[in-house]
Amino acid sequence: MTHPIAHRRLVFAIVGLIAVIGATTPALAAVAAVYPTQSLGDRGTDVATIQQLFHAHQSDPAPPSGGRAVIVRGINPLIVSIDGIYGATTVAGVRAFQASRGLPETGVADAATWSKLIVTVGPGATGDAVVAVQRLLREKRSAVVPANGIYGAATGTAVKAFQAHMGLARTGSVDVATWRALVWHFELPKFSAAALCDYSHRNGPANWGTAETISTLEAAGAATVAAGYGRIAIGDVSLEHGGDIIGHVTHEVGLDADVRPMHKANDQCTSETTWRMSAYDRVATRALINAIHAATSGHVKLIYFNDPVLIREGLTTFHSGHDDHLHVRVCEASHPLGGYRC
């Protein structure tokens, strides 16, 4: 898919941030991994990590509901559920945490907030910070580790494997550099009959995206299946560590995803179509777009697709070459590239 060359120049401007990684080469991007800024409307593994780390910092007794209390301004306990959705309670929790650490009370989990949230853990450690590490390893590297909050041999082995994968020292302990690399690392969607299917577009392994992107697609897919329109068919997202990808000048930072339009026969997983063809289902495609917006409110930067009706409705934007697929761009409250900032 072709995009404005200006975006390409932006990518080159931070070429040190993202590197193309071979299957047997450590991820050079480890040295430039950055914390993904998370804010109201975000969702996914990174949000769940923030929520779990609240618990790691909380020493108050658990309230009757079974959650853990985060004291907001020292007055009222606030339950921050570990649901992977950055809602109002998570915003309030982040503000409380920022206040307790002398940070600006923005409610946005930026790099400064992440740096205060993370807790160095290693063999023998227990608790919520360990659970957060285990979740990241399971979701982002498919590591076979229990999510039990006990830093045992399996977790240590998985951490060392991840460190080797990212070109970090194989210490077996999760230090600042390892935390940052874990949180930064992309993840794969879960393809299933309940939400998503895959279609290849010359770049077979290019299904990797940020936790926000992948969670958004999974939630939207579940919504379209529940509505009777079938699964969302996902094409290229990004390579595992971003970087140049054949046929694209974007799809390099894990926040762009190609999606097929919906078909009247619900067979978008196996068949191509364009908005001009009789097989195309505009009603279902409109529902798909609305589901994507609902899944990550305020974090959809743009959707390229050339159906003139949807363009008139303000749901999509024309871009050459987008008759047969939607290009969805998710954004963050802060990102090194301006084109990906909300």
**pLDDT in the model for residue 316:** 98
- Please state, for a pLDDT cut of 90, what percent of the chain lies above it: 78
Q: What confidence tens digit (pLDDT) does each residue in 79-137 have?
A: 788 999 999 999 999 999 999 899 999 999 999 999 999 999 999 999 999 999 999 99
pLDDT at 23: 36
* Between 18 and 152, the higher pLDDT residue: 152
Q: Which of 52-66, 222-236, 252-266, 282-296 has the lowest mean pLDDT?
A: 52-66
Contact 199, 263 (CB under 8 A): no
For 138, phi then psi, to 5°, come to -70, -45
The pTM of the full predicted model, rounded to 2 decimals, is 0.88
Residues paired with residue 70 on neighbouring β-strands, in sequence order: 78
Q: Are strands 232-234 and 196-198 parallel, antiparallel or unpaired?
A: parallel
Burial annotation 257-266 (CB, 10 A radius, 16+ → b, else e): bbbbbbbbeb
Q: At 41, is the pLDDT very low, low, confident or very high (cuts 50, 70, 90)?
A: very high
**According to the model, what pLDDT value does residue 74 have?**
42
Question: Residue with structure tokens 């991840």?
Answer: 162
Token pair for 212: 């926000």
Higher pLDDT, 164 or 55: 164
d(CA 27, CA 13): 19
Q: Fill in the DSSP letter of residue 31.
A: G
Residue 118 CA: distances (Å) to CA of 53, 54, 111, 148, 310: 7, 10, 11, 18, 43
Which string of DSSP letters, residue by residue, matches 65-101? TSS-EEEETTTEEEE---SSB--HHHHHHHHHHHHHT
- Walk across the sheet containing 196-198 and list its strands: 196-198, 232-234, 256-259, 326-330, 300-304
The arithmetic mean of pLDDT across residues 55-84, rounded, is 59
DSSP secondary structure code for residue 129 in this structure: H
Give the model's pLDDT for residue 203.
74
pLDDT at site 57:
87
Q: By C-alpha distance, which of 246, 210, 188, 245 is closest to 328?
A: 210
- For residue 197, give the H/E element and its range: strand 196-198
* pLDDT given at position 64: 38
Q: Give residue 247's pLDDT.
A: 84
Q: What's the token pair of residue 156? A: 């240590």
Check pLDDT > 80 for residue 174: yes
Q: Where does the pLDDT of residue 249 fall: very low under 50, low under 70, confident under 90, or very high at 90 and above?
A: confident
